[in-house]
Amino acid sequence: MKQIVVSGIRSTGNLHLGNYYGALRNFIQMQNEYECYFFIADYHSLTTHPDPAMLHPNVKSILAEYLAAGLDPEKSAIYIQSDVPEVCELYTLLNMHAYVGELERTVSFKDKIRKQPENVNAGLLTYPVLMAADILQHKANLVPVGKDQLQHLEMTRKYARRFNTIYNTELFPEPDAYKFHGEPIKIPGLDGSGKMGKSEGNCIYLNDEDKVLTKKVMRAVTDQGPTEMNQTKPEVIENLFTLMRVVSAPDVVEHFNNLYNNCEIRYGDMKKQLAADILTVTAPIRERYNEIVKDEDYLRKVAAMGAEKARESSARTLEEVRKAMGFRRF
């Protein structure tokens, strides 16, 4: 039997290079091998209270980006989370066995309390339970996740195990993290901070125009340049090389690495090359995006197809869950 894969990206804005290399590119590879469910997490985006006027446009642009980057609706179920309301019922049922103490201890929750102390809502606290419902509704075996999501996946495994034990069933498989090429990749920000991310405000977006993208790369933080041969690179410079290793050919990386080691590097040249290589990856996606996003009929069809596949799978699981918990129809 085919392994089942589930993953999603929150609809909090356009996709950036971190989303692409950390998630989307992997989805595209996986769709050829597994039974996949890829969704756009609009319920999850509500924890930060987005402007209602932006909710649908954000979902729409991510759907178009998924398709423009190469996700194929004939191969995978591509759906919008809120088109499958069954997930909310499973979320409610799983919540009964999710303990407040363990939810309060999650790293992401503690992080959010610090970042948005004015909005510590119950949705934030139970975020890992909704994520577990997203995954368990399709009985997923594999979840491609970034490093930041590993603790949540561990909780999903715990909830699956707990449910199976309490109701004496083997209903839920315990999903494994699917890591590509060993360690999960982390795309750095080019502003000298850690990772590229929407809340960090340092993103290079897949649909940035050429000029905007080039300007962002040319503004990347650097230093005065190396003063000793073969010296260790400071973090801001290592970040440039990390990104280059992802988007550029190995001989290009080696060329700039040699220049660095010989104290002959000119960061302006390196950034120009980096911008050109990022554009080689993103420009075709942006061109397709600009076409797809205008095609409302096509987007509607894809979303409906995905929702149908996902609802069928979710309803099947939910029926078994209800039965295990003792619900009966008159």
Contact positions toward ligand AMP, by CB under 6 A?
A: 9-10, 18-19, 21-23, 145-146, 148-149, 185-187, 195-198
Q: Which is nearer to ligand AMP, 77 or 187 (CB)?
A: 187
User: CA-CA distance, 177 to 142, in Å (whole number)?
Assistant: 6
User: CA-CA distance, 270 to 249, in Å (whole number)?
Assistant: 13
CB of 189 to ligand AMP, least distance (A): 7
Q: Which is nearer to ligand AMP, 226 or 306 (CB)?
A: 306
CB of 23 to ligand AMP, least distance (A): 4
Quick one: the chain helix, strand, coil %, rounded to 5? 60, 10, 35
Q: Which residues pair with 39 in a beta bridge?
A: 8, 79
Q: Which is nearer to ligand AMP, 108 or 257 (CB)?
A: 108
**Of these residues, 112, 216, 271, 309, which one is catalytic?**
112
**Of these residues, 75, 158, 195, 233, which one is catalytic?**
195
Q: Which is nearer to ligand AMP, 58 or 313 (CB)?
A: 58
Fill in the amino acid letter for 151.
Answer: Q
Dihedral (Cα; 309, 304, 38, 159), 10-degree rounding = -60
- Annotation marks residue 195 as catalytic: yes
User: CA-CA distance, 127 to 104, in Å (whole number)?
Assistant: 11
The values of phi and psi at residue 71, to 5°, are: -70, 135
CB of 41 to ligand AMP, least distance (A): 7
Q: Which is nearer to ligand AMP, 91 or 260 (CB)?
A: 91
CB atoms within 10 A of CB 119: 13
**Of these residues, 147, 158, 186, 198, which one is catalytic?**
198
CB of 20 to ligand AMP, least distance (A): 8
Q: Which is nearer to ligand AMP, 74 or 183 (CB)?
A: 183
Would you tell me the crossing angle of helices 267-292 and 235-247 to the nearest 10 degrees? 50
- Annotation marks residue 2 as catalytic: no
- Annotation marks residue 60 as catalytic: no
**Largest Cα–Cα distance of the chain, in whole Å?**
80
219 DSSP 8-state letter: T
DSSP letters, 34-90, are SEEEEEEEHHHHGGG---HHHHHHHHHHHHHHHHHHT--TTTSEEEEGGG-THHHHH
Would you please indicate which residues are annotated as catalytic (active-site) residues?
Answer: 112, 195, 198
